Amino acid sequence: MGEEIKEKPNLSIIALTSFIASFLIARIFTTLNPNIVLISVDYHIHHFWYGIALLAVGGWLGISYQSEKIDRLAAILFGAGGGLIG
């Protein structure tokens, strides 16, 4: 009840920048190289799954640790994961 709410400035900007960058990189890469596909044991591994993994790791880091560096890393991973899914 007496806990102080810690402000985290710029994390939304970091996440948004990371989202836009990964979204554009994924789209440009797939447009320029449509025949490059990662296949493992007859399964096509789509960038969607990388995005889910990055979202999970970024969310876990953001919830589990209270460090300014970790918060920035979590925002980058979360934004990049969202960009790969989007």
Cβ-contact 62, 8 below 8 angstroms:
no
Does 3 reside within a domain?
A: no
Cα–Cα distance for residue pair 61/40, rounded to 1 Å: 28
Cα–Cα distance for residue pair 78/22, rounded to 1 Å: 11
pTM for the complete prediction?
0.80
Domain count, the chain: 1
pLDDT tens digits, one per residue of 2-48: 677 667 778 999 999 999 999 999 899 888 987 877 777 777 777 78
Does 22 reside within a domain?
A: yes
pLDDT of 1? 60
Domain that holds residue 48: 11-30+44-85
Does 2 reside within a domain?
A: no
